[in-house]
Amino acid sequence: MFYIAGTGSALPEKVVSNDDLAQFLDTSDEWIYTRTGIHRRHVLTHERLDDLAILSAKRALEDAHTEGKDVDLILCATMRGDTYTPSLACTVAEAIGSHAPAFDLNAACVGVLYAMEIADSFIGTGKANTVLIVSAEAMSKLVDWTDRSTCVLFGDGSGAMVVKRGEGRLAGVLTSDPDTKSIRMPNIEGMNSPYNQIGQEKLAMYMDGGEVYKFAVNAMGHRIEEVCARANLSPADIDWYLPHQANVRIITASLKKYKIDKDKVLLNISECGNMSATSVMVLLDEYAKKGTFKKGDKLLFVAFGGGLTSGAVIINWNKE
Ligand code: UT7
């Protein structure tokens, strides 16, 4: 029911290399790169996440030749904005002069795919013609910078897309396989209530890397199969794969059995690390701006994340 009419992205200025991290952590470029495919990531310093979200949204609107007042719904995929309220989506709405309904959603790294499916439902039921989807993640504010097994994996950033009523989306599949232990990022605020009897959870992120790795390879493989079946396609019919950028080894392992030409699998993890929901958005914008996609190309988005969530969406690239 929708096609992608425009894309945008915005990354923090500061680039932190693996060697920079090795200055204060017991790690190395060799370990991080061979285990994950990451060399560098962007990290927030003087910028607010709000500012990045607004910038990427404005860039996507400009690319789609669309004004803020013409947007019917704003969805923002994030695990945590700068403020709980206003939501990041409302902050973007104010900045672009929109009065459309606006809300944040949290499906961890799969947030953008969830947002695409919500947009499809709003458009399909006649409630919207134009939807602005934004993702923005400040992972550097969620991780424990003393834990080398997690903090080296992530980066900050924002991306956006404008989707409009028309031919484009072919199929989507979303799931959750609830597992509340393998990845946890506890809420670290508001725990000073005098009535609180449960105390404070550990203040930082916890992740069982091995468990998440196994889940990810399985989930990405299954979602690809399911979404292709729904679209009546085979994995070989897909022109471009846009997988969540958590780890090159996960991406390679989950695609292995389909014998996909590796040139069809788009990557930016080496420069950006894992930006959670934002990863596929920045990837999309980067390759769209390079002119990689031709009209009619089939793009497959696939992601997994905390929750544990997973999903896949196939669209025809119909942008002029
Ligand atoms: O968006 C979803 C987010 N989560 C993920 O995508 C995570 C999925 N999991 C993974 O990508 C991988 O499991 C990791 C990259 C996190 C870890 O790779 P691994 O090959 O599974 O390594 P490991 O956890 O088995 O650790 C191997 C060793 C350990 O040392 P010992 O116990 O063998 O002595 C770790 O302590 O590597 C050590 N280690 C490090 N060494 C240098 C862990 N982190 C580091 C580090 N630098 N940064």
Pick the more confident residue, 196 or 265: 265
Q: Whose CA is nearest to atom 30 of ligand 1?
A: 149
Mean pLDDT of 143-150: 94
Q: Residue 126: which residues within 8 A CB-CB, separation 6 or more?
A: none
Q: Whose CA is nearest to atom 36 of ligand 1?
A: 149
Report the DSSP pairing between strands 130-137 and 169-179: unpaired
Question: In this model, does residue 295 exceed pLDDT 80?
Answer: yes
Residue 191 pLDDT: 62
Tokens of 92: 């973007």
Pick the more confident residue, 52 or 192: 52
Question: In this model, does residue 319 exceed pLDDT 90?
Answer: no
Q: Is the pTM of this model over 0.85?
A: yes
Residue 197 pLDDT: 72
Q: How confident is the model at residue 194 (pLDDT cuts 50, 70, 90)?
A: confident
User: Which region, left, alpha or beta, applies to residue 52 given φ > 0 means left and ψ of -120 to 50 means alpha?
Assistant: alpha
Q: What is the mean pLDDT of the chain?
A: 95
Residue among 17, 24, 35 to mutate when testing ligand 1 (max atoms within 8 A of CB): 35
Residue 26 and residue 148: Cα distance in Å, rounded? 7
Neighbours of 200 (CB within 10 A): 11
b/e for 101-137, b at 16 or more Cβ within 10 A? Answer: bbebbbbbbbbbbbbbbbbbebbeeeebbbbbbbbbb
Report the DSSP pairing between strands 130-137 and 157-165: antiparallel
Domains of the chain listed by start with CATH number: 2-166 (3.40.47.10), 171-316 (3.40.47.10)
Residue among 211, 213, 254, 274 to mutate when testing ligand 1 (max atoms within 8 A of CB): 213
Residue 116 and residue 118: Cα distance in Å, rounded? 5
Which has the minimum average pLDDT: 70-74, 128-132, 196-200, 290-294? 196-200
Q: How confident is the model at residue 188 (pLDDT cuts 50, 70, 90)?
A: low
- The angle formed by the CA atoms of residues 145, 142 and 190, to the nearest 5 degrees, is 120
